Structure 1
């Protein structure tokens, strides 16, 4: 883990309990992450649900507010945080859902990033528990670094992968339309 991402994660964890902008499904969501200068701002947060069950709280942090996916993708860094709420999310279901998310995010054109997707999906081999947190730092310069409960993965470089990952939640076929709207602050 490079020092920049370690500092980002440490500050995220430090501020996540203290400076809550709002509470979403019982999870305190901080209004900013002091990961860089200027700090990243909470763009929006919401709940991913299925069949009236809350699965996770998602939040999007950006250097500048953005109300469209295009404006999010233009920014140098975007951070998606996920806080697991349900025991229905297993490692197997997460891997399947993420793989399906990449298919939807790329309109089925995953060939260019297929190896990166498989590497990323491997991050979900260990069982997932209620309360687990994932922090997905999508940085144009550093690549995508995923943290599970503070433990970092090796970064995955490439703009095509970065854009596809963000489009899982923000693209034309997002994981959930209402969550997309909430992340975009609408």
Structure 2
């Protein structure tokens, strides 16, 4: 009887430890990437995360959160479901102007140069990046179907940009067929 109780306790402890490990945050370049996030009442799970590198410099950690895990980039881009793209600055070489320029380049790539229909929304988002940046700044680009794309910086809501087309183009910066970095796209898609 005692041996049976000890075996049961050991099994319960092992299951509890493995469950807590399954929900532990991921660490990338010293950045803790949570397994799930909640914004505007929408809980989303980590789909994948990676590091944006440019000219051999690690610029930021990017993570994709969705209601459920998916490797289908086209489906994610076409969907109207909630998503969060979290960007954590990890280099002091990432200035506000460089970050804004990189985002604009990403929009141009994502839309294949056809920014016309969403230009005002893109300019609104780019404007939010024009303030000084610091290592450790966290941007959450959250699509809330009830409001639009909510732009948070360090947990503070800065702006809401309406439009499903904008959501697709914004997510396309990282997930389109012409992303800012192919290896980062694969990591965010969990490939």
Counterpart residue number, 2:36: 32
Q: Give me the whole-angstrom Cα distance separating, in 2, the residues matched to 1:105 and 1:167.
A: 5
Q: Give me the whole-angstrom Cα distance separating, in 2, the residues matched to 1:78 and 1:164.
A: 13
Task: Say which of 94, 97, 112 aligns to 2:102.
Answer: 97
Task: Provide structure 1 residue ranges, at least 5 long, that are not aligned to the other structure.
Answer: 1-18
Q: Highest CA radius of gyration, 1 or 2?
A: 2
Matched, 1:87 2:103: no
Spell out the pairing of 1:141-156 with structure 2 (5 A cutoff): 141-156=146-161
Q: TM-score, normalised by structure 2?
A: 0.83
The structure-2 alpha-carbon separation of the partners of 1:133 and 1:37, relative to structure 1 and needing over 3 Å to count, comes to: closer
Q: Give me the whole-angstrom Cα distance separating, in 2, the residues matched to 1:39 and 1:135.
A: 14
**Equivalent residue pairs, number:** 168
Q: Would the aligned equivalents of 2:39 and 2:142 in 1 still touch at CA under 8 Å? A: no
Counterpart residue number, 2:58: 54
Query: What's the offset of the Cα at 1:52?
Result: 2.0
Aligned CA-pair RMSD: 1.6
> CA offsets per residue over residues 23-50 of structure 1, 9 Å max, x none?
1111111111244777311000110011
Task: Provide structure 2 residue ranges, at least 5 long, that are not aligned to the other structure.
Answer: 1-22
